[in-house]
Structure 1
Amino acid sequence: RDKLVMIRDRMGIKPFYYYRTPDGVLFGSEPKAILANPLARPRVTLDGLRELLVMIKTPGHAVWDGMREVEPGTVVTVDRSGLSTRVYWRLQTRPHEDDRDTTIATVRTLLDDIVRRQLVADVPRCTLLSGGLDSSAMTAIAARQLAEQGQTVRSFAVDFVGQTENFVADELRGTPDTPFVHDVARSSGTDHQDIVLDAEALADPAVREQVIRARDLPAGFGDMDASLLLLFRAIRQKSTVALSGESADEVFGGYLQFFDEDARSADTFPWLVRFGRHFGDDSDVLRTDLVKQLDLERYTADGYRTAVAGIERLAGESDFEFRMRQICHLHLTRFVRILLDRKDRMSMATGLEVRVPFCDHRLVEYVFNAPWALKSFDGREKSLLREAAKDVLPQSVYDRVKSPYPSTQDPRYARALQAQAKDLLARPSHRVFDLVDRDRVRKAAEREAPVSDQAARRGLERTLDLAQWLDLYAPELVLG
């Protein structure tokens, strides 16, 4: 029929890009596939830099000039008459009629069905286990289902040398993962392995290069990107398919910003309030003149207004319930896509297929429309999930407070970043100094940087990522 039909899954689990040409489109799962064609220029404008530097995931935006991302739940058709777009699914507001007990039972029924479906594979399977509520519930349910078939589920967790013994609690992470991981492994009888990483591996420039190649962009997640890549690489030696607890926080309301009054009331994306408080922002390391040109504050404000404009309100819904609906919607349509993209790039770069049961659209639709009072009926995060999986969880995990994906606390990692930044400073003509402030980088590289100073460490990670990206992709930066 001389027609190309590009269809993306509802939640954006898998990436999909296209680039218009004079007589059609180039398309691929990743920008690197498109940029390999000489018709696609590796060009990034100020608008692309804005999207790169602010964690708001504008739908359809691909950072690279002229490139677009097929949006989740969307069909893009290209034929001789041109290009057309049709949305086949979107997250919609509907009344929720079920009471608490029925809702909890429905969540469990859905989870049982979803996990059973996603365990189907003719290759070795495993679960990613962090010791948090999400991955523990998923692993425990998978273990019970496979036990019925006389099989044992294999589980993997990431850890860092000395992290459990020397862990220092902070506002983000109150407990180390490993003790909880082992509780789940014991109670569910999994064949478990900890993947223990050291600071040298996390800071290895070769690993940073592999991360940037996988992501096509300098995302600035630092050691959390490196550890995910190394974790997936180790898992791939024993399994081909892994189930992940990703997106449960967005579905059930697990992040701290859901309960932070400043984040709830802010006229912006709630996660930016929390991140800014703990990590600062990229303006801390960028050149002052570039910061003014970018005007990230306005870009973020415009993106936020667009994001909340289409969220429907139920008749009779209170102001507070509607605000929490907005926050849930923003996480499910913006924030989760950042993490899903990260997960997919790291896993595909190592040949590991990662499945995300909590992204099943049936579960997403059902829980999204449950009122916030029901999602947090016991005053805690993810109340519905906790109760739905209560019978398969060890008490320690049932009681555990949310802890984000782990980050190393080893001071040797920070010192390695400083040494690499000094090497970069010794190359004063490097293009990265068109973007970052040389003096700020020097101060961060030379200071006594305690591991708790996340903002200083993140500035170094962002600088080194940008430098690596410029070396690998040689993008044409249009800063005027």
Structure 2
Amino acid sequence: MCGIAGVFTNNTSMAIDSQTLVNMAAMMHHRGPDSYGYCNPADMGVGMSHARLSIIDLNENRGRQPFWLDGGQTMCVHNGEFYDYQRIRTDLIARGIDFTSKSDSEILPTLFRHLGMEETLKQLRGEFAFALYDEQEDTLYLARDRFGIKPLYWTQTEDGVVFGSEVKVILAHPDVKPELDSKGLFHQLIQVMVPGSTAFKGIQQVEPGHMLKISRGDDGLTIENQKYWDMDFPVVGSREKQSDDYYIDGVREHLLDAVQLRLNADVPVGCYLSGGIDSCSILGLASGYAQEPLKAFTISFDSADYDESDIATEMARSVEADQEILKLNADLLYNNFARTIWHTERTIYNTLAVAKLMMSQQVRHVNYKVVLTGEGSDELFAGYPAFRQDMYLHGMEGLDENQASEWRQSLETSNELFKGAMLAKDEYVSDEMNNKVGFTPSCLQPWLGCTDHARQLIHPSHRAAVEGYEPGTAIAEKLDSEYLSERHPLDKAQYVWIKTMLEGQILTWGGDRVDMANSMEARPPFLDHKLAEFAAQIPPEMRIKGSKEKYVLREAMKGVLPETLYEREKFAFMAPPAHTDDKKWKKLRGLLDQYASREKVEKAGLLDADYLETLVAKQESAETDTSDKVQIDAILNHALGVMILHHHFVEQNIPAYAYEQAQKLNWVV
């Protein structure tokens, strides 16, 4: 697990400065503190750099990247893990092919050399982002894993393409100007992003399951965006009829395989552990393979309504895990808010991101580099309340009134705390989303429902730039009709979540960015693509059976989970909002005074200072109801995040800062 960066110029005569490449690596030293490397051969117009976190093959010299193979014909850098690489290596060695290291990364250029890129991508299993340059084709490939677990950003300048694992890495290049984009700014205030976009003008993400093929010719660069994988739910009526046991046994078998592969490392592996069945399932399965008790890491909040640590402890005791509990309060959550935004490079609606950053810090404090996590389970097996709502509204025809009443009551009672965040306070309908999907998925409604607030909160100059802009339309346009047409409503709802909330939130500010902030690798077995492809075949009524979510997973994990967890309903993992605690509210107000005072807001020209003050006053009013406060809490966090983004990345000279970092690390060439 590492960080990658590079430059591909319009023609081979353009020299690429070595120190610039090293500065880009220094900006992501947190992603790879163990070593660094760079490569920029003369008269090739391509250069790459790499910051390494040693997980597989700890020998510094053998695992150093970039790889430059075939006598200089192939150059590549890789971030992430390729699982099952030993089998691939063995097959290639049997064919007389040599390797220079034991690193999983080296299978990438070797496979490409013998199979080409299309077949190589089919072979790769895991979470990854990579850049590979082929001199023979004079082509650069930028590729990202199927779900977007690992980040990869890029932008085009007058001289070529600049890419990197984080936005700040790209901003370290002197040709890239830091500027918040009007539409990107708008989406920062409503949480949900347009797939492939960022807050920054001209900087994009390689989308999950996609590859950019950037070819160089006499007229400059040609950029092709190619999809190589997608979550493919069957067309209605095409699923083969199988027994319940077939699906239950299949989930267990595929998940066991995914966990076993992700336990492979040359360093100790622990587990994140909350009170949900997802992380508990992973710990239970991993413990079955471990030779000694595993380390389990749990977050505890200082609010009984949001804290799950007691249930996590029950699971830890059942498998005799060595549990570490990190207790978080207002000081820890809000004192580290600005630091978290530096790493997420986008706004956050809840301090859960801060909590995750603090937990990864604790993991490294006790000398662990790798943990297994439960992310992806809700996406595959329909665990979120929004899925239950869509199943009820669009996927369960013929319910009698008693059944319907029981369903509604169960959903509303169990999710009262999260109304305004996980579930919409009021219904929001996007006409274009209705046209594309058949309905506006419940997962998007809480955030699209913030649109009116966002229009008033955005600065008048940016407000004019987004006049007539409908965020639901922009998101709908990025969704592939081929994978939505003729699908069951639950399949559609899950597909939209995977394309928006999973990649843009859970795997970004809830995953890689806050984990790698402390040089820690998180591995989510549920997002193994072979498990995902099997899960797509599971009938909707086995994912949500009656009003019980994740039915098939619960049955697959019988015997692994204690009875309490097996029976427990999904509880959203979320930090206590500021309005629930006077101390937290005072801390949030203090941050707003520090970064979003009227003077600073007016100077930045991003937000409307009057409306920001109106929202603060409304939040402090006793007449504002709870669901409104949940929504406003999210919007205020976003507004604060926007101002911190401006502080970190626009006001600061990032190229100069990157060079300072390189000097401190003694990475000067």
TM-score interval, smaller chain: 0.7 to 0.9
Change in Cα spacing, 1:228 to 1:263, as seen in structure 2 (3 Å) is farther
Query: How big is the shift at 1:247?
Result: 1.5
Structure label with greater radius of gyration = 2
Residue 331 of structure 1: aligned partner:
497
Change in Cα spacing, 1:440 to 1:75, as seen in structure 2 (3 Å) is closer
Q: Does 1:472 align with 2:648?
A: yes
Change in Cα spacing, 1:74 to 1:424, as seen in structure 2 (3 Å) is closer
Quick check: 1:247–1:358 contact (8 Å CA) kept in 2? yes
Deviation track 1:87-109 (CA, whole Å, cap 9, x = no partner) reads 22222233432321100100000
Structure 1 residue matching 2:634: 3-state secondary structure: helix
Alignment-mate amino acid for residue 214 of structure 2: V
Q: 2:552 aligns with which of 371, 378, 384?
A: 384
Report the Cα distance in structure 2 between the residues aligned to 1:270 and 1:362, rounded to whole angstroms.
27
Residue 116 of structure 1: aligned partner:
260
Q: 1:40 aligns with which of 173, 176, 198?
A: 176
For structure 1, which segment, 190-199 or 453-462, has the greater mean C-alpha deviation from structure 2 after superposition?
Answer: 453-462
Residue 364 of structure 2: aligned partner:
236
Q: Does 1:64 align with 2:205?
A: no
Alignment of 1:202-213 (within 5 A): 202-204=333-335, 207-213=336-342
Q: Does 1:348 align with 2:348?
A: no
Report the Cα distance in structure 1 between the residues aligned to 2:633 and 2:485, rounded to whole angstroms.
41
Quick check: 2:386–2:442 contact (8 Å CA) kept in 1? yes
Report the Cα distance in structure 1 between the residues aligned to 2:519 and 2:376, rounded to whole angstroms.
21
Report the Cα distance in structure 2 between the residues aligned to 1:277 and 1:77, rounded to whole angstroms.
37
Higher RCO structure (Cα 8 Å, ≥6 apart):
1
Alignment of 1:165-314 (within 5 A): 167=305, 176-204=307-335, 207-217=336-346, 219-238=347-366, 239-261=368-390, 264=393, 267=434, 268-274=440-446, 282-283=454-455, 285-286=457-458, 290-291=462-463, 293-295=465-467, 298-307=470-479, 309-313=481-485
Q: Does 1:9 align with 2:176?
A: no
Report the Cα distance in structure 2 between the residues aligned to 1:212 and 1:191, rounded to whole angstroms.
31
Q: Does 1:80 align with 2:216?
A: yes
Report the Cα distance in structure 1 between the residues aligned to 2:450 and 2:274, rounded to whole angstroms.
22
Deviation track 1:364-415 (CA, whole Å, cap 9, x = no partner) reads 1111232212212353111111111011101111111111123124331112
Query: How big is the shift at 1:145?
Result: 1.8
Query: How big is the shift at 1:130?
Result: 0.7
Structure 2 residue matching 1:220: 3-state secondary structure: coil
Alignment of 1:442-461 (within 5 A): 442-445=613-616, 448=620, 453-461=629-637
What CA RMSD, in Å, does the superposition of the two structures yield over aligned residues? 2.8
Quick check: 1:93–1:313 contact (8 Å CA) kept in 2? no
Structure 2 residue matching 1:403: 3-state secondary structure: coil
For structure 1, which segment, 435-444 or 130-139, has the greater mean C-alpha deviation from structure 2 after superposition?
Answer: 435-444
Query: How big is the shift at 1:188?
Result: 1.4
Deviation track 1:155-175 (CA, whole Å, cap 9, x = no partner) reads 0111123x23xx3xxxxx6xx
Report the Cα distance in structure 2 between the residues aligned to 1:259 and 1:135, rounded to whole angstroms.
21
Report the Cα distance in structure 1 between the residues aligned to 2:451 and 2:483, rounded to whole angstroms.
29
Change in Cα spacing, 1:50 to 1:424, as seen in structure 2 (3 Å) is closer
Change in Cα spacing, 1:424 to 1:13, as seen in structure 2 (3 Å) is closer
Quick check: 2:148–2:209 contact (8 Å CA) kept in 1? yes
Structure 2 residue matching 1:271: 3-state secondary structure: coil
Change in Cα spacing, 1:92 to 1:335, as seen in structure 2 (3 Å) is same
Quick check: 1:20–1:26 contact (8 Å CA) kept in 2? yes
Query: How big is the shift at 1:76?
Result: 1.7
Report the Cα distance in structure 1 between the residues aligned to 2:233 and 2:458, rounded to whole angstroms.
40
Residue 20 of structure 1: aligned partner:
156
TM-score by length of 2: 0.63
Report the Cα distance in structure 1 between the residues aligned to 2:139 and 2:469, rounded to whole angstroms.
41
Uncovered stretches (5+) of structure 1, i.e. residues with no partner:
168-172, 315-320
Quick check: 2:141–2:212 contact (8 Å CA) kept in 1? yes
Structure 2 residue matching 1:44: 3-state secondary structure: coil
Q: Does 1:125 align with 2:306?
A: no
Residue 317 of structure 1: aligned partner:
none
Structure 1 residue matching 2:386: 3-state secondary structure: helix
Query: How big is the shift at 1:278?
Result: 10
Q: 1:156 aligns with which of 297, 320, 323?
A: 297
Change in Cα spacing, 1:191 to 1:417, as seen in structure 2 (3 Å) is same
How many correspondences in the alignment?
A: 454
Report the Cα distance in structure 1 between the residues aligned to 2:326 and 2:382, rounded to whole angstroms.
28
Structure 2 residue matching 1:405: 3-state secondary structure: coil
Report the Cα distance in structure 2 between the residues aligned to 1:381 and 1:281, rounded to whole angstroms.
32
Uncovered stretches (5+) of structure 2, i.e. residues with no partner:
1-134, 395-428, 435-439, 653-669
Alignment-mate amino acid for residue 128 of structure 1: Y
Report the Cα distance in structure 1 between the residues aligned to 2:308 and 2:316, rounded to whole angstroms.
12
Quick check: 2:543–2:552 contact (8 Å CA) kept in 1? yes
Residue 397 of structure 1: aligned partner:
565
Report the Cα distance in structure 2 between the residues aligned to 1:256 and 1:109, rounded to whole angstroms.
27
Residue 239 of structure 2: aligned partner:
96
Structure 2 residue matching 1:79: 3-state secondary structure: strand
Residue 318 of structure 1: aligned partner:
none
Query: How big is the shift at 1:208?
Result: 2.2
Structure 1 residue matching 2:374: 3-state secondary structure: coil
For structure 1, which segment, 136-145 or 273-282, has the greater mean C-alpha deviation from structure 2 after superposition?
Answer: 273-282
Alignment-mate amino acid for residue 52 of structure 1: Q
Q: Does 1:414 align with 2:585?
A: yes
Change in Cα spacing, 1:211 to 1:197, as seen in structure 2 (3 Å) is same
Q: Does 1:365 align with 2:533?
A: yes
Q: Does 1:322 align with 2:322?
A: no
Report the Cα distance in structure 1 between the residues aligned to 2:635 and 2:193, rounded to whole angstroms.
21
For structure 1, which segment, 53-62 or 234-243, has the greater mean C-alpha deviation from structure 2 after superposition?
Answer: 53-62
Alignment-mate amino acid for residue 349 of structure 2: F
For structure 1, which segment, 57-66 or 392-401, has the greater mean C-alpha deviation from structure 2 after superposition?
Answer: 57-66
For structure 1, which segment, 425-434 or 9-18, has the greater mean C-alpha deviation from structure 2 after superposition?
Answer: 425-434
* Identity score, percent: 26
Report the Cα distance in structure 1 between the residues aligned to 2:139 and 2:284, rounded to whole angstroms.
45
Change in Cα spacing, 1:383 to 1:180, as seen in structure 2 (3 Å) is same
For structure 1, which segment, 43-52 or 6-15, has the greater mean C-alpha deviation from structure 2 after superposition?
Answer: 43-52
Alignment-mate amino acid for residue 107 of structure 1: V
